[in-house]
Amino acid sequence: MKALVLESQMNCVVQEVATPTPGDNDILVKIMANGVCRSDWHVWEAEVNNYPSKILGHEFTGIVEEVGKNVTRFKKGDRVIAPFSGSEGTCPQCQQGHTNICDSFLLPGFMYPGGFAEYVSIPFGERNLVHLPEEISFVDGAALGCRFMTAFHGVVDQVKVLPGEWVAVFGCGGVGLSAINIATAIGANVIGVDINDANLELAKQMGAAYTVNSKQTDPVTAIREITKGGAHVSIDALGYTQTCVSGIRSLRKRGRHLQVGLTTNHEQGHIAIPVNEMILKEINFITTLGMPAHRFDSLLPLVTTGRLTPGKMVTREIALSDVNDIFAAMSSYSNTGTFVVTKFT
């Protein structure tokens, strides 16, 4: 099969590799669409890749090609979507329903070969695949990817956005646009913040009531003025010190900050936050990772009924050979919207 292989830092190459053979509990999926995510970019641009897989890609939909002998809930020909955060089912987190933080850290494209390939073998397939409704196209399903599922878990389950609240989203890339769409569907008033006017225009299409270009305007001041005192919820969908701290400082008293974006190699996972200010305002700092597979039962009906519109943020369908260029553009923040691989051969 054809696959995009990470050969070295910032260099992926399309190669011919062996098609995987599923084990007794596994499911082989023919990939129909796979989104290009900033999480892939983090691995691509890293000086050292500590993950076992050299085939990235974790936002995929496809068709079941073959099932292991112990698999009963899926069959050849089924349309499927893969949760970004996989699990094996025996750890305490899985037992409590928090499969997204399973101790196995069973993430496609990181812990096992991912969706930048013609086929993927899904370990513990019955746990780590979800049936994709006919009403949702493969491309729209891939756009749900880790961005929508991560945003859904963060906005709905973790920070618990309520109707009528003000939500400020910093970074209008894939996960930021998803958060805007979800918070708007809940009934919140959303402000999108970015340095790219094209992204801000897309934020409006996804439901943002207001947008702020933080290159031209101080976003903290603007948000406090728009909301008459500060947002109830801020979301850092990028992972920079500036976006994280600005998000916190744009909140009113007892506000909640949701950290979605991972930091860059420069920050090495460490951001200095204004703790004293947070204490005086009783501000909550909340994080999120992926989404438990069982929460797809709540997410997918919102897509089939049109309340959530992941397809609106898909800029272009691309080939495997185009992914390197998309990663390079991510480094300069010159991309608008999201890109989905649909050409694998």
- DSSP secondary structure of 209-220: SEEEETTTS-HH
| Residue 267: predicted pLDDT | 82
Q: What are the angstrom distances between the C-alpha of 276 and each of 26, 142, 233, 244, 273?
A: 50, 41, 19, 15, 9
Residues 149-182 pLDDT 10s = 999 999 999 999 999 999 999 999 999 999 999 9
| Residue 139: predicted pLDDT | 97
Can you give the pTM of this predicted structure?
A: 0.92
CA pair distance 198, 172, nearest whole angstrom: 10
Cβ contact 237:154 at 8 Å = no
pLDDT along the chain (345 residues), means of 10: 96 96 98 94 87 96 98 98 95 96 95 97 97 97 93 98 98 95 98 96 97 98 98 96 97 98 84 97 97 96 96 94 94 89 95
Q: CA nearest 258: which of 230, 229, 226, 288?
A: 288
CA pair distance 146, 288, nearest whole angstrom: 12
The residues with which 281 forms a beta bridge, in sequence order, are none
DSSP 20-49: P---TT-EEEEEEEEE--HHHHHHHH-SS-
